[in-house]
Amino acid sequence: MNEIMKRTIERKLERTAENLRKNNIDAYIAEDCADAVKITESLMKENDTISCGGSVTLAESGVLELMKSGKYNFLDRSQASDRESVEDIYRRTFTADVFLTSANAVTENGELYNVDGNSNRVAAILYGPKSVIFIVGCNKVVRTVDDAVKRVKTCAAPPNADRLNCNTPCTVTGECVSLKAGGDMPSGCRSEGRICCNYVVSAWQRNKGRMKVILVKESLGF
């Protein structure tokens, strides 16, 4: 990446971090993935009970490795033997100390946008865990909520549906069917495997300091 692009991204992340803080959400800027891991570590205590949403970003950034390091009591659903155990982890997550996830998009106005199918992820974001840490690559920062909606329908949901082997139209066409009819936030397909069910904009946090966003100067996840 050339210097001009680096400066442009830096300014965008600084604007976003400033507006997140105005919305009572703590914000950090990480130089790279290693820095994001260090910041994440500084926000958790040893033996904390931690959990996470399904996230390519957590794996790509190295944060998932930190979670599995043994320093924490990780409610790891990948180790669950059956669906009942997975559901049990989802419920226990509500009393976790820390929930880690990415966001589908973050606006420069300081809003978080998340779309979920099973919705255990958005549920834990909204209420339950004492602390929620978002790791967000610079590719997910957009100008407005409208841009966030479009981002999910074009860049986030189709590859996620593909990753999760969902039989949805977007896995074939590469974008949401709703775009043909204007692409309003809640419009979508009527597939059994639809992963876009609940659409959540987090605009302001009453519980100051509960949400922390680490904006990374690297592209991560979808």
Q: Which residue is nearest to ligand SF4 (CB)?
A: 188
**Between 94 and 199, whose beta carbon lies closer to ligand SF4?**
199
Using CB under 6 A, pick the residue from 123, 196, 214, 220 that binds ligand SF4. Answer: 196
- Using DSSP, state whether 8 is helix, strand or coil: helix
Neighbour tally for 151: CB within 10 Å: 21
- H helices present in the chain, as ranges: 3-22, 33-42, 56-61, 63-67, 83-93, 120-126, 145-151, 157-163, 169-173
Using CB under 6 A, pick the residue from 40, 107, 131, 168 that binds ligand SF4. Answer: 168
Spatial distance between the Cα atoms of 68 and 50, rounded to a whole number of angstroms: 10
Neighbour tally for 71: CB within 10 Å: 15
State the DSSP string of 87-139: HHHHHHHTT-SEEEE--SEEETTS-EEEEESS-HHHHHHHSSSSEEEEEEEGG
**Between 72 and 222, whose beta carbon lies closer to ligand SF4?**
222
Report the amino acid identity of residue 110.
G
Look up residue 181 and give its two tokens. Answer: 């009819």
| 148 near ligand SF4 (CB under 6 A) | no
Report the DSSP beta bridge partners of residue 105.
113
Using CB under 6 A, pick the residue from 170, 213, 214, 220 that binds ligand SF4. Answer: 170
Using CB under 6 A, pick the residue from 54, 129, 169, 221 that binds ligand SF4. Answer: 169
Using CB under 6 A, pick the residue from 178, 215, 216, 222 that binds ligand SF4. Answer: 178
Distance of closest approach, residue 177 Cβ to ligand SF4, in angstroms: 5
Contact track, ligand SF4, 103-142, x by CB under 6 A: ----------------------------------------
Distance of closest approach, residue 148 Cβ to ligand SF4, in angstroms: 14
Spatial distance between the Cα atoms of 2 and 86, rounded to a whole number of angstroms: 44
**Between 9 and 152, whose beta carbon lies closer to ligand SF4?**
152
Chain residues that interact with ligand SF4, rule: CB under 6 A: 153, 157-158, 161, 168-170, 176-178, 188-189, 191, 194-196
